[in-house]
Structure 1
Amino acid sequence: MILDFGGVLTTRMKLNGEAFERAEGLRPGSYFHALEAHPDGVAVYEALEVGQATQEDWNRVIGSLLGIDPTDLMRRALANLRPEPQIVAAAQRARAAGIKVAMLSNSFGIEPYNPYEDKGMWGDFFDAVILSELEGVRKPSPLIYQRALDVLELTGPECVFVDDHLRNLPPAVALGIRTVHHTNDPVATATLLDSLLPDTNPA
């Protein structure tokens, strides 16, 4: 079982971003514009994800675009992100059943602020953690999915991959991995994952 972090193992990224805008007194939509539309914001985020920029680079660029203090900005930006209880519980049930569970995430950076550790998803929580920052490649590149399989020592048909972005699913499908598009219903996704457990562990 291979799970995305933001928006799958956690609550929705959009809700977190909106809460961040309110907390910082920003105009609605300005944070998302800085991340997804402004060339400087897009570039530094893409560079951060593959380890070509530091989290502090991201803090500085995004803080400048938003006109706010960049100090520890990633921590503040993710302050309202919470573990998604239903998905976390499904992952724990899978591991208890002997299924290998991995997190595959386009990285937010891990220094100076490690959001995965902060949200309780680090160390022994997974059998494997595959972060784009450490791999030098990010979703939806097919390479990062293959690396997840290699680390888990599994084949594609033995795995299921869950992501909240449709664009990240086709490369997994190409490797024979079953995919689940997680939307806004964690109960439905958790139920589906539970139903797949016998198939991913035939023994």
Structure 2
Amino acid sequence: MTEITVNGVRVLPGFLDEGEQRALVEDLRAVVAAAPLFHPVTARGKSMSVRLTSAGDYGWVSDRRGYRYEARHPQGMPWPPIPERALRVWHQVSGVGRAPQCCLVNFYSDTARMGMHQDRDEADFDMPVVSISLGDEALFRVGGVVRGGPTKSVWLRSGDVAILSGEARLAFHGIDRVKAGSSTLLPKRGRINLTMRVVD
């Protein structure tokens, strides 16, 4: 496994083998059963193309009141615990002593996208964001810490792990497109992205 860097974001290709990926998908089925996927809405009232849920002490939500973390799912139930397999990845690659408090679970269909954004709803930017890709490949674009600067892109494949930390912690990043059918991990295609964060 050769680590690559994209505008300061570390990418570990193939960090999880196929067996580990399949086991983690099963863990996520239990998360979704306890806290169903939902379509978040932006502050402007536009529905996002991804569906999401969360695990941990907090979940990330978005609605007319804006982006924020909440202790409960929009339907009122508490978020389930972060799967141990995901926590293991965090402890292997994060380089910090604190455990994540939120594991955001994004599901991308063939047509879903994620616009360029910063992860800045957390209290301590010295804490990294650790991302795990599962399923179909996605074109990951990374810029600098100022919107509109030059960007670089890399295809994230199933089992890859990315770490936003240090100077790249607040890098603008997004998903331009998903390569439908590029993985057999998920029976109905699509991509799952886990992002783990320390919130407060």
Q: TM-score, normalised by structure 1?
A: 0.29
* Greater fraction of residues in strand: 2
* Greater fraction of residues in helix: 1
Rg comparison, structure with higher value = 1
Q: TM-score, normalised by structure 2?
A: 0.29
